[in-house]
Amino acid sequence: MILLVLVLVNVLQAEYTDDMVYIHEWGVIEMDEQYLQVRGCPDGYITPDGYFQEYPMAEVTAPVVYFYGAESYGTFSVRVRDGAFTLLLPYPDSLSHDVGEEDCYTAVWENLRITSPMPSADATTEASAATRGPEFESCFDWAVPFWQAVPANNIRYPSTGYEDVFIYYESVMNNPSMFIGDYYNHVGEVLIFSSEDGEMVCEYTTVPVESDAIRDTLSDVEIMAVLYTWGDGGMYAEEIAALWHTWKPLLKTRCELENLTLMLFPLTERQESMVSTLSFVPVENILIQFDRLLLGLGAI
């Protein structure tokens, strides 16, 4: 069934019309990572048997945003709820902090120009590299070729001269309570990564895991097929490939070198909205459609 899904991906891929703007986003939240912070009391709780359990500091470490469909011109924004941005590319026109019922930051890119894909990938690479600073290069610069292989529209940001096929941001969540619990409070399909004879293997199952549950061992192609179904068919196969090639090295490192067992799972729409919300206001009177695929990743 998984292979059949993958075969049908490009056949059934929606044809985007030129009378709508389609905005895609994918990203991963590392549930078990921590930041070094100076504080008087650690963020966690005492278990009934007297042990201290830390709350994880969840970080969305690779949200990549693409535009498809109609050529357009307008203002794009990302709002982070109860958290903050740690990296933005390109740097936005404004970054506001709203302390009300929720502690929110909003990044706004004005006058974005969305046009048909550039005829040459080399031209895109050169334009993008010219506006990327050393801070970005030290993070995910090696993954950019994967992201640029996606057949998305070109994004031009006059404020900085940035030109590429994606917008990128990182953010932290100050209150990850919705992910605290068995299996990070997730119920349903998961991919389990572990080490077997020194090599990473991936199994497809559901949680809570039953002792007699069938667990299929998957190839890279089958893993991408599962990720595609988690996106409800709204993502391009090239986007799924970019996601997988970006995160596979980290998974291999944690499984094979650190001997950890990791769980990868899709967030619900409500959880996605608690992480961040996206908005695009075009100058033209045109419809907008959003498709998002945010995943959780953590040791179990």
List the alpha helices (DSSP H) in the chain. 2-12, 121-129, 134-137, 144-148, 220-230, 237-252, 269-275
- pLDDT of 120 reads 57
Report, as an integer, the average pLDDT of 286-298.
94
Give Cβ neighbours of residue 212 (< 8 Å, ≥ 6 apart).
Answer: none
- pLDDT band at residue 139 using 50, 70 and 90 as cut-offs: low
Residue of 232, 242, 236, 294 lying closest to 22 (CA atoms): 236
Rounded Cα–Cα distance for residues 210 and 127 (Å): 51
How many whole angstroms separate alpha carbon 162 and alpha carbon 170?
A: 18
pLDDT of residue 32: 80
pLDDT given at position 229: 95
**How confident is the model over 188-229, as pLDDT tens digits?**
999 999 999 999 999 999 998 765 556 678 999 999 999 999
> Residue 108: which pLDDT band, with cuts at 50, 70 and 90?
very high
Q: Which of 46-50, 119-123, 286-290 has the lowest mean pLDDT?
A: 119-123
Q: How far apart are CA 241 and CA 255, in angstroms?
A: 20
How confident is the prediction for the chain on average, in pLDDT?
A: 83
What pLDDT, on the 0 to 100 scale, is given for residue 82? Answer: 84
Q: What is the DSSP string of 228-244?
A: HHHTTT-S-HHHHHHHH
Higher pLDDT, 132 or 163: 163
Residue 280 has pLDDT above 70, yes or no: yes
Inter-CA distances, 136 with 34, 249, 284, Å: 20, 18, 33
Question: 300 pairs with which residues across the strands?
Answer: none
Angle in degrees, CA 103, 243, 19, rounded to 5: 80
pLDDT digits (tens, 9 = 90+) for 33-54: 654 334 444 556 666 665 566 6
Radius of gyration of the chain (CA): 20
Higher-pLDDT residue of 176 and 224 is 224
pLDDT tens per residue, range 227-253 = 999 999 899 999 999 999 999 998 999
Q: Helices (H), strands (E): how many in the chain? A: 7, 18
What is the sign, positive or negative, of the torsion defined by CA atoms of 178, 271, 167, 239? Answer: positive
Distance CA 157, CA 168 (A): 13
Q: How do the residues of the chain divide into helix, strand and coil, expressed in percent and rounded to 5?
A: 25, 40, 35
Q: What is the pLDDT of residue 233?
A: 84
pLDDT-derived band at 61, boundaries 50, 70, 90: confident
